Structure 1
Amino acid sequence: MEHVSKYLTKEIKLSSYEDKLFKSDLMFDDHMLVWFISGETKIIQADKTYHFETGDIFLIPRNQLATIINYPKGGLPHQTVVMHLSAERLKHFYEKVELPQKIVPEQRLYRFSNHPLLQSCMASLVPYFDVRGEFPEEIASLKITEAISILRSIDQNVDNVLANFNEPGKVDLIGFMEKNFMFNLPLEKLGYLTGRSLSTFNRDFKKHFSTTPQKWMIDKRLELAYYHLAEKKKKAKDVYLEVGFEDLSHFSFAFKKKYGIAPTQLRSVPG
């Protein structure tokens, strides 16, 4: 797989994937504003799946677990312009803004398909990627401020995401894990999202589940895969990435070890 990223600054990049697909499980430290030049993306969250393609623009909040699968399409690479909206930038922006309404913190993903103002803002960045030398910080700051201002003019509710600077608090571990077991993230990050240190996360997990997080998550992923294969009649190659496995052969081995049958055989077994 060939992945090429060109950076204007650490906050603005042009990302290109040339291969068949690229899958990653992520939790962003910044809000991410993404414009699609070409290709397709599937974003899988615990309670919803999104599909994006050429021209789409979306905002994904920070501290959100997501599986992201990128596909080239029509002979073109998967190519996007990505802008990080950091807490530092946003705090500086909102210091000068009087909010029209009280902030109701939310974490939902926003879609702005083909919006002319936002698209022209993101498209205006593309020529700069071919300019040699260091990109001026003043221009980067202006472009990020422009993007934030456009987002707020399109939908004032976006303040509920952008002006929310709260850190994750302690949450119910059982409910969180039952909802998010398919995401492959370091245990430190899972602990952070539940409001726990790594040691507290591991201790609480053992107390509630009587096993290790790794063993429990693999078992839950296999159960979900079984449901998709047996009840939804999906194919193994379409299931393994979505339930949290990185490799089809590893998934097939683990599945057969648990259920005594290969996942490719399950679909042909009479109900």
Structure 2
Amino acid sequence: MDYQVNYINPEIKLSSYEGKLFKTEAAFEDHFLVWLISGETKIIQADESFIFSAGSTFLIPRNQLATIINYPKDGLPHKAVAMHLSSKRLREFYSNNQLKSKSPTDKIISFEKHPLLESCLNSLIPYFEMQNNFPENIASLKINEAINILRTIDENIDAVLNNFDEPGKIDLVTFMEKNFMFNMPLEKFGYLTGRSLTTFKRDFYKAFNSTPQRWLTRKRLELAHYEIAEKHKKPVDVYFETGFENLSHFSFAFKKQFGYALTRLVSNMQ
């Protein structure tokens, strides 16, 4: 099996992947603290991209749209520990702890190597050998330990972890023009713009005179065409960064949209 996940409990998991790459679109409900043991992770957001190598530790804030691509590297699988920092857990923590900072950020946060953080995450590895009956009180201690260490090494982290605001109603056009390349369910686009699915579809048609599905496909294809024709990228490096599930679906949609095969565009560039 290429992809395997072991859990300490629902909030702490160890993943291992040995295929060519593993891609997911994310707008997590919880903050995600990730420790990359081996392999490489590329995270693409609307404004910037990040590449994390083995030994990196980073936090993906909740409700942030991103494409996450995991690669094996140097003959080793992509292997990572991920810890969910849920709103429920964080509310409990901050009910007993005073805030240190009030300047929130929605950017992915990369942490410098620190012995306290490395020791905490390393200590989780033996627990993955326990298949059942992992004590909840120990899992809670581990998560609280991680939160306390993050607060020790990053004086601004409270503003992120203690922010429990839900997305409010925002300008639909600005948001969609910025984030169309993320292959998310329409319900998630609606939630992130502060709308129900019904209201999202209604407002979308008013704004773009098109259904979301048609508009999203066209915008993604136009971006992919530009990346290939103007930046000379390979189709295999473009399709998963522009919201398509696989290369065959991308090729079919490309020909339907532009009236000629993807291979023709590639051959014209050579």
Bin for the TM-score computed over the shorter chain: over 0.9
Partner residue in 2 for 1:31: 31
Q: Deviations over 1:181-213 (max 9, x none)?
A: 111111111100000001000000011111110
Q: Partner of 1:89 in structure 2?
A: 89
**More off after superposition, 103-112 vs 173-182:** 103-112
Work out whether residues 40 and 72 of structure 1, in 8 Å CA contact, stay in contact via their aligned partners in 2.
Answer: yes
Report which stretch shifted further, 116-125 or 128-137: 128-137
CA 1:204–1:132 in 2, change beyond 3 Å: closer, same or farther? closer
Q: Does 1:225 align with 2:237?
A: no
Question: Is residue 18 of structure 2 the alignment partner of residue 18 of structure 1?
Answer: yes
| Offset at residue 2 of structure 1 (A) | 2.5
Shift of 1:52: 1.0
Give the structure 2 partner of residue 192 of structure 1: 191
Query: Is residue 2:125 matched to residue 1:126?
Result: yes
- Change beyond 3 A, Cα 1:142–1:266: same
| Equivalent-residue separation in structure 1 for 2:131 and 2:233 (angstroms) | 48
The Cα shift of 1:104 comes to 2.9
- Do the aligned residues in 1 keep the contact of 2:36 with 2:55 (CA within 8 Å)? yes
Match of 1:46 in 2: 46
Which residue does 2:76 correspond to in 1?
76
Q: SS of the residue aligned with 2:252?
A: helix
SS in 1 for 2:268: coil
Conserved? CA contact 1:33–1:83, under 8 Å: yes
| Alpha-carbon separation, structure 1, partners of 2:198 and 2:191 | 11
Mapped contact 1:32–1:62 kept (Cα < 8 A): yes
* Structure 1, unaligned runs of 5 or more: none
Distance in 2 of aligned mates of 1:87 and 1:51: 27
**1:18 Cα deviation after fit:** 1.9
Distance between the aligned counterparts of 1:138 and 1:253, measured in 2? Answer: 52
The CA distance in 2 between the partners of 1:69 and 1:163, in whole Å, is: 28
1:43–1:67 CA contact under 8 A, matched in 2: yes
Superposition deviation, residue 267 in structure 1: 4.1
Question: Any idea what SS the aligned residue of 1:47 has?
Answer: coil
Paired position in structure 2 for 1:158? 157
TM-score norm. by structure 2 comes to: 0.96
The answer to whether 1:171 aligns with 2:170 is: yes
Kindly provide the CA deviation profile for residues 43-102 of structure 1, in whole angstroms up to 9, marking residues without a partner as x.
11111111112100110001111111111112221110010000011111111122234x
CA distance in 1 between counterparts of 2:107 and 2:220 reads 24
